[in-house]
Amino acid sequence: MRVVIAGGHGKIALRLEKLLSSHGDTAVGIIRKPEQAEELRKRGAEPAVLDLEQASVDEVADVLSGADAAVFSAGAGPGSGVARKETVDRAAAVLFAEASERAGVRRFVQVSAMGAGEEVDADVEAKVGEVFAAYLRAKAAAEEDLRGRDLDWTILRPGRLTDEPGTGLVRLADDVPRADVPRDDVAEVLRLLVADTTTYGRTLELVSGDTPVAEAIERL
């Protein structure tokens, strides 16, 4: 498979690229900075330099042309403000989905976040802060846009991400209690989801658990 990943230099994406290449697939990582390219090549991935906050739909579609699947794993990241939650976590996700439609790439997996499906009112914002509230609203808006598109989509909402070594054991379902999950395990779930045909139109939550990843997906 040829898989194009938005946010190609992110912590989840770098892990996913390495997994895909080690299993004989082709990973293409979209990155903003040319100096990030070598890190992708070390993981067996092809870098594509493109700023999703500035690119046109046609430019993104050109990168997606010929792909078997698209994964949106981009994010404004820690330290970014409200404005970039809007331009990356929402607008770039919408752009990437629209470009996938235009390029004829039907399989689309979007990395979202637990809590994105809940109402973020003034009380919630006062508790979590303005920036995180904006992040949740942006993720929810990106999800809603994707649900209306003619794509074979799956939305994945991981719990709190950690850099602990993956265990290969997860809990994956439509609704799970909040908990942590290593980025290693998120990447392995994504690797299997891109080739899966049974999870189209599903919004799934993911945390650490006691079920091997492949089995957890089969159970869905």
Show which residues are catalytic: 135
Count the neighbouring beta carbons within 10 Å of the beta carbon of residue 194: 21
Q: What is the DSSP string of 14-41?
A: HHHHHHHHHTT-EEEEEES-GGGHHHHH
Cα torsion 40, 41, 47, 52 to 10°: value is 10
d(CA 218, CA 208) in angstroms, rounded, equals 17
d(CA 171, CA 180) in angstroms, rounded, equals 11
**Segment (H or E) for 10:** none
